[in-house]
Structure 1
Amino acid sequence: MSAFGRRGGVGSNGGRQFGVAQPMKGPAPAAPRSPGQDAEGGSQFPPIESLPTEEEAPAAASRGGGGDAMARLADRQAQSGDQANSRNNEGFEASIHRIKEQVLPRLLERVDPEAAATLSKDELAEEFRPIIGEVLAELKINLNRREQFALEKVLVDELLGLGPLEELLNDPDISDIMVNGPDQTFVEKKGKLEIASIQFRDEEHLLQIAQRIVNKVGRRVDQTTPLADARLQDGSRVNVIIPPLSLRGTALSIRKFSEKPITVDMMRTFGSMSEKMATVLKIAGASRMNVIISGGTGSGKTTMLNALSKLIDPGERVITIEDAAELRLQQPHWLPLETRPPNLEGQGAITIRDLVINALRMRPDRIILGEIRGSECFDLLAAMNTGHDGSMATLHSNSPRECLARMENMVMMSDIKVPKEAISRQIADSVDLIVQVKRLRDGSRRCTNITEVIGMEGDVIVTQELFKFEYLDETPDGKILGEFRCMGLRPYTLEKAKMFGFDQPYLEACL
């Protein structure tokens, strides 16, 4: 192929993991004392003067009780800095990356980048194979078949993919990727943070990959716009922030989503909710109840929203509105909309509120917002109350009561001049259920509350809790134990469920 001109030459962590909260509990009352143990057995929080020094920490750990808990804290403090700066560069992958650094410059001399960009990964690998052989012969490097295939993959990822990020994106166990500059990358596996072994060549290499990601969705990141939200081809959400705002170099935050869509039944199987809670959420989605999903960052709000959307009738027209499109609905009549940032002159921005107002003219049955952040809250409430039942949205808050307060505040902070009492009444009339999700400190994600919005009593919004997750205990390895409690109350939204024929199962699930 003419694009690949050839030049004459030779030939033709087993360490402690971050984010894991260890239980801090005293010994069981009947536990026998060790020979050197004090008769009182220690307390969970001993007086300041009795805290062990760094040298005494191992001995305190052997005594159990408060000494054990405080020794763990001292151990965490001593090891956290070391692990944050440690790097696992040994092994097969590291050796392949070292060879790649030698081969890549010589390979680029023999390749036309524009022509290479028109080929698929498989075609490019086929074209590369003989050229890589030439370069390896020049460098006098001998590789076996496995090493050569691995080298080809790394080089193709570098030229057409996302470089070192490709191996992390292909790992199904990884749910989050956090790049803190070219020298440090963390990943989240099964709810726990750990450092990854990948490394970028330099800041320029990392910035080039970040620009490749945002350019594919028609956005940009540079000195004039150092912040950008984007998405990958599979729908994974990406946030980019570059210097001078980021002091350690370009920072990437990638939120991956499961290739297999997660359903409400799968969440019940995972232990995220009880069977009765799953039944209530299914009926809420099918009965066109207005649902707000509340939770903190990384708690699983979008996953819950995707799961609830599967209960929507296939005959309904659904419009989703997001900053960076990440919802993946399975309905046949689904139209996703995405906001647009301003151009270099600061003009042409299309906000979520603009899209909500426009969506009302598009004959939607349901409007789903990826996240409520500001004045668009008022327009969504108006839509919920004017014939668009079954609309859903997510919102950042720590409890159902805070969720309602945040919605009031967002409307009041906008340019809409409406009395607080009117805003509260609008919320009470529009929202049916608040689903609270939370990421617990052991990495698990649970649906902690399902709360019904009943109405107004004076100037206060009245709510009723249908289900609640109660913390009970922790296992020795830090896993949180708890139970999902049904409050046994008759739901006020029973009338809506009755209109769709779900009143009997809905009532049985709540009682």
Structure 2
Amino acid sequence: MTDAPQVNGNSLSHGTTRLGGLLAGHTQAAPPLPSPGTTGLHRPGPGPAGDAGGAAGPADVGVAASMPGVLPVGWEEITGLRQLVADDIDVLRKERRAAGSPLREQALEEAVRGRVRARVAEWAQQWSLEHPPLTAGELERVRTEVFNLLFLAGALQRVLDRPGVEDVLIDGVWMYIDSHDRPRQRVPSPFATTGQAVEWVNQMAAASGHGERQLSYASARVEFDLPDGARVAATLLTEDVVIAIRRHVLEKAGLAELVQWGAVDPLLAAFLSAAVKAGQSMIIAGDMASGKTTLMRALGREVPARERLATLESEPELRLNFDDPGLHAHVLAFRTREGNGERDAAGRVNLHDLVPVSLRYKATRVMVGEVRGEEAVAMLEAMIAGGSGSMCTLHAKDPQSVVDRLMVPLARAGLSDQAAYRLIAAAVDLIVYVDRIDETDLGGREHRFVSHVWEMAGRGEGGGVALSPVFAPGEEAGEERAVPTRTPMSERRMRKLERKGFYRRWLSEYPHGQWQPMRRAGGAA
């Protein structure tokens, strides 16, 4: 057929930071983590359940050397140097502001590098009076760690820069690394003591602008963002300090990249792109870590440039502030705000408050990062009252529970079942479900893909809502991903899609979609 679906996308980001790239010429590449089936370095004593622990073997030495905790000097030396450089830069900033020429980002980076080199050189001379002199490579490692602690994620940057790393969790003496398409890795924590871990958290929180909230036993939890957008949550409410870091590997991915990754096929990508352009309001549902936010972020890139899009989040994950407003929508990124104290609600702004606020700034669409509470009512009302094309994500453990899961926050907000069903039926056009199959423990890979797309078909006979499947798993062909069902869409919605470039005949001409073969563990493609 001549007019096959076409999708325009953006270049794929592999998750490395720009500043991290600048360090590439100054640091040696870290050796890869052990392949599936090998063990990391075990400290003495029992490990987690199912992990017997044991003595380190030859393979463990390479793992340990690749971890950020192996420094030629003590951590206190690194933090001391970091403070000296920070003081130098504060003085330079004040001087430049007084002269009317404040430091720009690139000039700031170069100034920091210069001060790091100078301070480390001075320190190395004093160090060598009482210790063996450091080699050139060891001095470069010290310079890198000081720079990282100022600009990046400090002791963890080398781990976060590895391709595919999505989640890192430090629990006491162990660090757990979750990467795309790889089994979970367990390696020693880069921090030798709880004090070092807490100090790292507070250093990074201060650098992120959240320095007023420090991690301590009086204030036992804190959340903030790293410079590359990764989200950090740390707590002392557990037996030992726990630090969780979440990264979005596909932060800059559009629909074209999701096609390459197997999350959607070209037919489904064209359908969803047209639905966004046509102003179809949709809910993107799925289980944890299934790719809901990644899909909604990609769909946000399809919003026409003439529109203004408001993103409402408690944690900044969408990050749709585009560099070229001529190609993408104007984005207003709203965030919730905590109260003035642990028990003080004064100054608190939640997602429910943000929905009407965003509409006052002439936002034509609203995107809510995740609907959990009473903001569900405001979100659905915004979809009805002019926010056509709005989107939100919703946690649902299986496709059949999406509507029931949405009913929970509506009931908590005081709506009766009938009122809630009427609101859902009037507000939502499409429901998209993202599924996940993890076979990394079987030697396979992790599959994340859209499995269902339903059209809202009004009220059901039993008083609920009626959903019409537009895409569903192709059970007859053994396909677990979404393929056309040939169920007719409402004529009004289909005409809107056609005006945005989607041909209805594609749904019948591609009965099995355009998916590439899925390679499952233990079987051929």
- CA distances 1:276-323 after superposition (whole Å, capped 9, x unpaired): 211111111111111111112211111111100111010101111100
Matched residue type, 1:235: G
- Residue of structure 2 equivalent to 1:393: 392
Aligned twin of 2:360: 361
8 Å contact 2:164–2:249 — kept in the other structure? no
Partner of 2:230: 236
Map Cα deviations across residues 463-491 of structure 1 (whole Å, 9 max, x no partner): 12222246899xxxxxx985543212212
1:226 match? 220
Unaligned regions of 5+ residues in structure 1, if any? 1-12, 19-76, 474-479
* 1:456 equivalent in alignment to 2:459: yes
Counterpart among 256, 263, 267 of residue 276 in structure 1: 267
What is the deviation of 1:341? Answer: 0.7
- Quote the offset at 1:410 in angstroms: 0.6
Q: CA deviation at 1:89?
A: 5.1
Write the mapping of 1:103-118 to structure 2, written as runs, cut at 5 A: 104=77, 108=81, 111=84, 114-115=87-88
Aligned residues of 1:319 and 1:337 also touching (Cα < 8 A): yes
Shift of 1:144: 3.8
Q: Which residue of 2 aligns with 1:297?
A: 288
Query: Aligned letter for 2:401?
Result: E
Q: Output the amino acid matched with 1:460.
A: G
Q: Are 1:381 and 1:426, in contact at CA under 8 Å, matched by a contact in 2?
A: yes
Distance 1:99 1:112 in 2: 19
Q: Is the 8 A contact 2:287 2:398 kept in 1?
A: no
**Aligned match of 1:370:** 369
* Contact 1:277–1:509 (Cα < 8 Å) also in 2: no
Question: What CA distance in whole angstroms lies between the structure 1 residues aligned with 2:352 and 2:79?
Answer: 51
Structure 1 letter corresponding to 2:464:
V
Does the CA contact (< 8 Å) of 1:175 and 1:189 recur in 2? yes
Secondary structure at the aligned position of 1:82 is classed as coil
Give the structure 2 partner of residue 53 of structure 1: none
TM-score (norm 1): 0.75
Aligned-pair RMSD on alpha carbons? 3.3
Aligned counterparts, 1:73-222, within 5 A: 80-82=51-53, 88=60, 90=62, 92-93=65-66, 97-101=70-74, 104=77, 108=81, 111=84, 114-115=87-88, 120=109, 121-158=112-149, 161-181=152-172, 183-192=173-182, 193-196=184-187, 198-215=189-206, 216-218=208-210, 220=213, 221-222=215-216
For 2:406, the aligned partner's letter is M
Determine the C-alpha separation between the residues in 2 that align with 1:85 and 1:447. Answer: 43
Alignment-derived partner of residue 495 in structure 2: 498
**Any idea what the Cα deviations from partners look like across 1:431-481, whole Å, max 9, x if unmatched?**
1111111231222211121122211123021112222246899xxxxxx98
| Matched-pair identity in % | 21
Give how far 1:106 is off.
10
Unaligned runs of 5+ residues in structure 2 are: 1-33, 40-47, 92-107, 323-327, 440-445, 509-525
Q: Mean Cα displacement is larger for which, 480-489 or 283-292? A: 480-489
Q: CA deviation at 1:362?
A: 2.1
1:83 Cα deviation after fit: 8.3
1:422 aligns with: 419
Matching of residue 261 in structure 1 with residue 252 in structure 2: yes
- Secondary structure of the structure 2 residue equivalent to 1:367: strand
Q: What letter corresponds to residue 146 of structure 2 in structure 1?
A: L
Q: What SS class does the counterpart of residue 123 from structure 1 fall into?
A: helix
Residue of 221, 240, 244 corresponding to 1:248: 240
Structure 2 residue matching 1:434: 3-state secondary structure: strand
Deviation of 1:380 (Å): 0.7
TM-score, scaled to structure 2 = 0.73
Q: Which one has the largest radius of gyration?
A: 1
* Residues 212 and 129 of structure 1: CA distance in aligned 2, closer, same or farther (over 3 Å): closer
Question: 1: distance between equivalents of 2:381 and 2:338?
Answer: 25
Change (3 A) 1:159 1:404: same
Q: How many residues align?
A: 428
Tell me which residue corresponds to 1:465: 469
Give the letter aligned to residue 101 of structure 1.
G
SS in 2 for 1:412: helix
Q: Report SS of the residue matched to 2:73.
A: helix
Partner-residue secondary structure (3-state), 2:37: coil
Whether the 8 Å CA contact 2:273–2:302 is kept in 1: the answer is: yes
Partner AA of 2:180 in structure 1: K
SS of residue paired to 2:373: coil
What aligned pairs does 1:298-337 form with structure 2 within 5 A after superposition? 298-329=289-320, 330=322, 331-337=328-334
Change (3 A) 1:247 1:116: farther
